Structure 1
Amino acid sequence: MFHAYHHHRRAFVGHSHHRNSRYEAFDDFYNNPNATADGASTQLSSCGNVSASESLTNYTQSVDEFLSDIRDATPKTSNLYVASIKQIASENATVYAIAQCAENINPAFCGTCMSTAYNKLTECLPRTEGRFFDMVCFARYSETPFFNVNQTIDIANLLKGQHSSKLATIVGAIGGVVLLFLIIVVWSLYRRQKNSKKTEQEDLKGTLNYSYKDLQLATNNFSEENILGKGGFGEVFKAIIDDKNVVAVKKLEIRHAKEKEEYENEVKLISNIHHRNLLRLLGWSREGSNLLLVLEYMANGSLDRFLWGSKRGTLDWNQRYEIIIGIAKGLVHLHNEFHIKIIHRDIKSSNILLSDDFKAKIADFGLARLQPDDETHVDTKFAGTLGYAAPEYARHGVLSDKVDTYSFGIVILEIISGRKCTDMNSERPSMEYLLEHAWKLYEKKVHIKFIDETLDLNQYEQEHAVKIIEIALLCTQSPVSKRPTMSDVVLMLQDGQSLGERNLTRPTFVHNQDRRIHIGSRKVI
């Protein structure tokens, strides 16, 4: 995990691995999105707009040497983290730099990533700020302070002997390679003898690398009786590893390069994310075109089967509310508590999985994208599921964290009504989908009629559900600026507050069959 270098970043929260030996058929476990990911790289770099005001040559040389030291020192620290400050007296400047690699990876891999970061950051010189991000490492320098002085690390001792003779460097490098090779051989033999079920290779992802044959055995040769779900992407199987641990194995059918990139994107993202409301990646396997993810096994499958599927009507109000809160907290973690903003961009009921005690976890990060802190949105090709996708994204490819907020609002409406977002209102022949139906009931102040008829709510629960319907409509407003952040949504959900007197803007209704757009607004008191 990356160091919480921003003072407002909270520590990651661990979560338990729910184990259950039951077998159930989950028809919609990991549904395939209705569109293909654009396969964009997860590597990002950016430079500031201001150049050094003094001697550009001296400044460039001094900062280059500083970044070189950061590059060399980071893989040598115990936690692969460095923060340092350098005074450039001749230029009357102070430069702050920070770097870190993902936890549990081999220092050699960290060094490789830091070399890439160094090359990208030096391209920014003589500008006074640069950033680099990859799923393996992060680095930044700036003349503007962005961490506390007490967070710095003395890197002088780490760099002793660093600038010795070229011959010593070569000999040391060769010796290091030989030593590393011997360590890997001994460790591999030890692991194979101790546990033939898996090999723990410290790959770029920092997770277990299972052999394809072991997973084939654990799923009974990917047998039909172990299938948890099917989709256009492939299949998900129930598997038992180490003779006792129940997991889900996601087997992808790779037909072109974009699907391979989507797989790699999902591995890189979720291997670095740990939160009680985000599905945990336990391991992976890549052998030719055979691409597998080993994930937590969620005993109750996907949320949609409890709303309009085989288990419809079995969730009580308290369970639905806790699921809503759980999804919201998972999104807050993606948007605000990671070292860079992650947009899921395919939040929907079939991508929400439920544990044996009905705790919600967001799954399927194959379409996730990164949004740099200094950008309000990302322009990209649409990839997601119509009905859940925000109008500005579905029509124009304008992607921001508010796209997830919109999708979350739609999922709330599904949870409260027990109806799918693309189902048309059955009360009258019309083109009203779920969002438009909810809005019209809200306009008439009768949105209590929107609540799932299978729920038997007392007066307090009815009032609570009505307030959350209003929060859902707040999340789906247009324009984008009207939508709250997910952090604000969590506060509203926990406080149970009513919107009161507020300018609620009418949502933009996207009709998927003919892609008609209806836009309007009114003041609601």
Structure 2
Amino acid sequence: MFKEVGAVPLTFNTVVQATGNFTARNCIGSGGFGSTYRAEISPGTTVAVKRLTVEMCQGVPQFNAEIRILARIKHPNLVTLIGYYASPSEMFLVYNYLAGGSLEGFIQLKRNRDTSIQVVTKIALNVAVALAFLHDECNPQILHRDVKPSNILLDNNLNAYLSDFGLARLLEGFETHVTTGVAGTFGYVAPEYALMCRASDRSDVYSYGVMLLELISDKRALDPSFSSQENGFTIVSWAVMLRREGRMEEVFAPGMWEAGPETMLLDLLQLGLICTAEAAPGRPTMKQVVRKLKQIQYVHDC
């Protein structure tokens, strides 16, 4: 049965028809458990439909987690769950459509165009505000556990929205972490989570820091260029090495250092490195990250 949690009138048939029966030409992204499609329900009303590959039964818990989390919370920097459908043969979720695509795609395109430091900081702040909301304003606290550029979506004005809550976990008031099998994406998973299966809000902070380093450098978390380095690198160890050797300007995307201002760029780099500190207690909270980014914006505007 189709469940509606928003004001847009939807039915199973209208959604499937709007996707062209899930035709490849309307596919706007694919993940481990299915694909996402653009669907114009009516003139001026476009939604995104994430369809689960039903044969992959392991995706059902993620499907249910998305509903459980997003049906109960709202925030300007989170995607909006409009509705969902579940039957033995078909399962899909319906979200607001964000025409700017993913942050992953934005970073790839950014390599070929000038992007101001103000835009980079705005995106970083939007994501930080969303995570601070999950960590500090939701009861129970929500751990995202899969923060990465492909799970951050942009609108036409480059406002950022955190998406994909399939791996999210709830923390009751007395809990500081959850002990669970490691989920998420290699390169973004915090050391204590990878080694001891302990996920906390500081694990999300680590993943956020990796994303921030990607955003300022145009490198990927496990960029192919790192393989030529001795012993190989992740983006974190690469950035740490360059800072240690006094070559901070090499962290930044081509043209970014020259465009400056240097103080703002170095503040962003320092923030990315603090967020990815090896020991969880050495990382800031997301609320502190938000405060720092606002300070960086304020100093620059002045």
TM-score (norm 2): 0.90
Q: What is the aligned partner in structure 2 of residue 250 from structure 1?
A: 50
The partner residue of 2:177 within 377, 383, 393 is 377
Q: Tell me if structure 1 keeps the 8 A contact 2:85–2:92.
A: yes
Q: Which letter maps to 2:184?
A: G
Give CA-to-partner distance per residue, 1:477-508, whole Å, 9 cap, x none: 122111111001111111129xxxxxxxxxxx
Does the 8 Å CA contact 1:210/1:285 hold for their aligned counterparts? Answer: no
| Partners of 2:6 and 2:81 within 8 A in 1 | no
Amino acid at match of 1:394: A
Among 129, 132, 145, the residue aligned to 1:345: 145
Q: Which residue of 2 aligns with 1:437?
A: 238
CA distance in 1, matches of 2:45, 2:8: 14
CA distance in 2, matches of 1:301, 1:402: 27
Match of 1:223 in 2: 23
Partner Cα distance (1:309, 1:316) in 2? 13
Query: Residues 73-105 of structure 1, C-alpha deviation per residue, up to 9 Å, x if partnerless?
Result: xxxxxxxxxxxxxxxxxxxxxxxxxxxxxxxxx
Post-superposition CA distance 1:292-327 (Å, at most 9, x none): 111111111011112235874453221111000111
Shift of 1:458: 3.6
- Letter aligned with residue 438 of structure 1: A
CA shift in 2, pair 1:264/1:209, >3 Å: farther
Larger radius of gyration: 1
2:97 is matched by which residue type in structure 1?
Y
Match of 2:120 in 1: 320
Contact 1:208 1:284 in 2 (8 A): no
Q: Does 1:453 align with 2:254?
A: yes
After TM superposition, list the pairs within 5 Å mapping 1:118-197 onto structure 2: none
**Structure 1 residues 300 and 314, CA gap change in structure 2 (3 angstroms):** farther
Aligned pairs, how many? 296
Relative to structure 1, the CA distance from residue 362 to residue 260 in structure 2 (aligned partners, 3 Å threshold; closer, same or farther) is: same
Displacement after TM superposition at 1:442 (Å): 1.6
* Paired residue type of 1:319: V
Partner Cα separation in structure 2 for residue 379 and residue 206 of structure 1: 34
- Aligned identity (percent) is 33
1:463–1:229 CA distance, 2 compared to 1 (3 A):
same
- 1:501 alignment counterpart: none
Contact 1:284-1:292 at 8 Å conserved across structures = yes
Amino acid at match of 1:213: N
Q: Are 1:261 and 2:261 matched, yes or no?
A: no
Name the structure 2 match of 1:364.
Answer: 164
SS in 1 for 2:101: coil
- In structure 1, C-alpha distance between the alignment counterparts of 2:251 and 2:227, rounded to whole Å: 12
2:133 counterpart letter in structure 1: H
Aligned to 2:86: 286
Q: Helix, strand or coil for the counterpart of 1:282? A: strand
Instruction: After TM superposition, give the deviation of residue 396 of structure 1 in Å.
Output: 1.8
Residues 382 and 393, structure 1, Cα contact 8 Å, conserved in 2: yes
Match of 2:103 in 1: 303
SS at match of 1:496: helix
Q: Which residue is equivalent to 1:483?
A: 283
Aligned residue in 1 for 2:300: none
SS in 1 for 2:65: helix
Select which of 306, 331, 334 maps to 2:131: 331
In the alignment, is the contact (CA less than 8 A) between 1:425 and 1:434 conserved in 2? Answer: no
Question: Unaligned 5+ residue runs, structure 2?
Answer: 298-302
Deviation at 1:231, TM superposition (A): 3.0
Q: How far apart, CA to CA, are the structure 2 residues paired with 1:417 and 1:281? A: 32
Aligned pair partner of 1:403 in 203, 213, 216: 203
Alpha-carbon shift at residue 341 of structure 1 (Å) = 0.6
1:403–1:306 CA distance, 2 compared to 1 (3 A): same
**Contact kept? 1:317, 1:455, Cα under 8 Å:** yes
Structure 1 position 227, deviation (Å): 1.3
For residues 414-451 of structure 1, give each alpha carbon's deviation from its aligned partner in whole angstroms, at most 9, with x where no partner exists.
Answer: 00001001015459532122111110122233312211
What secondary structure sits across from 2:82 in the alignment? strand
SS of alignment partner, residue 308 of structure 1:
helix
TM-score (norm 1): 0.53
Alignment deviations for residues 17-75 of structure 1 (CA, whole Å, 9 cap, x no partner): xxxxxxxxxxxxxxxxxxxxxxxxxxxxxxxxxxxxxxxxxxxxxxxxxxxxxxxxxxx
> Following superposition of structure 1 onto structure 2, how do residues 21-100 of structure 1 map, counting pairs within 5 Å?
none
Write the distance in 1 (CA, Å) between the matches of 2:178 and 2:213: 27
Counterpart of 1:444 in structure 2: which amino acid? Answer: E
Structure 1, gaps ≥5 residues long: 1-197, 498-525
Alignment root-mean-square deviation, CA:
2.3
